[in-house]
Amino acid sequence: MNLRIKYFKCSASWRSSLLHLRRKILVTATFILGTSQLFMSHAFAFWLLGFSDADTLPPGAVGAISGTGGQLTEVGRPTQGSFTPFLAHAGFRLGITDGFDVGYRLAQIALPFSSAGPVLGGELDARYRLTSTAAPWQASVVGGLAYSYLILNNVSKNAWSPGADLLLSHVLTPTYTFISELRYVYTEITSAPGGAGENYLHAAGVDIGMKIAVTRTVSLVPEMGLFNFTGRLAGRNADGIGFQYGAVLSFRFR
């Protein structure tokens, strides 16, 4: 009888934790999608993939990623296709407190000229874990801001890009961890002719990937995602879809 009582108590506790997690995920996803709709009346190759699981780094721990990938888009009216086969990617993370870490990574942000091609910018972000470390499904939220600046022919060019993410991950085996991400990014090119009103882009979508442990401190993370684009570039319609793929090596120190 005692065993049955303990079983029902554990089962009830597990269901309660699962329902609590579902509520957190629903609220967070609603916030991210609602924010994208809020900015949709105003918001080219840049990273949308996160290359990370939902777990945060322990306090004082340092992580790093490095890799590459590509992007295929069909945007505009009439539709025009573009393919960027190689997009560099690298970044660092630092654990601050239990369930909270911060990061910096290189970010490809579109600038208003074609002769220079994609330009590297920098992105700062903060990640907060929504679940306990013992939960079978990990969930976290990420908020970040990217910026890119250069001077070309004595003319300054700049673009900025805030974004928000909901990360989910589940350990399948000691080697494989499934990861998924709901992401929204807004890019605004304020220095382009016509200003931000004619040069902006919203991107919202989902990606999936796998974190594959190579050693105790090194993992391979392949990922791919499909995103919807809405906006304008140089005064022209930039609505359409984009597909991204990539892979990085993830390192953890300490």
Q: Supply the CATH number for residue 163's domain.
A: 2.40.160.20
Tokens 């601050």 belong to residue: 96
Count of domains forming the chain = 1
Question: Would residue 1 count as lying in a domain?
Answer: no
Q: Is residue 200 part of a domain?
A: yes
Question: Is 2 a domain residue?
Answer: no
Residue 128 lies in a domain: yes
Using alpha carbons only, what angle is made at residue 93 by residues 87 and 98, rounded to the nearest 5 degrees? 145
Q: Is residue 9 part of a domain?
A: no
Direct distance between the N- and C-terminal alpha carbons of the chain, in angstroms, rounded to an integer: 46
pLDDT of residue 246: 95
Q: Which amino acid is at 149?
A: Y
Stretches where the chain sits below pLDDT 70 are: 1-46, 109-119, 152
Give the helix/strand (H/E) hosting 222: strand 218-233
Asked if the structure places residue 7 within a domain, the reply is no
Q: Tell me whether residue 4 is in a domain.
A: no
In a domain, 244, yes or no: yes
Q: What is the DSSP string of 117-186?
A: -SEEEEEEEEEEE-S-TT-SEEEEEEEEEEEEEEEETTEEEEEEEEEEEEEEEEE-SSSEEEEEEEEEEE
Query: Could you list the residue range(s) of the whole structural domain that residue 198 is in?
Result: 15-253
Q: What is the pLDDT of residue 16?
A: 57
Token digits of residue 128: 């907060």
CA distance 140 to 128: 5
- pTM of the full structure: 0.78
